[in-house]
Amino acid sequence: MRTPKPDRRVPLGIFDSDLTVSGNRTGACVTAAMVAIAFVAIPIARPFLLGTVGAGSLLGLTLWWKHSRPHHDMTAASNKTDFDQMIRTL
Listed by start position, the domains of the chain span 43-69
pLDDT digits (tens, 9 = 90+) for 31-76: 889 889 988 999 998 999 899 989 999 999 999 999 888 766 555 4
Q: Using N-to-C axis directions, what is the helix angle for 25-41 and 46-68, rounded to 10°?
A: 150
pLDDT digits (tens, 9 = 90+) for 22-41: 778 888 898 889 889 988 99
Cα 82 from Cα 90, distance rounded (Å): 13
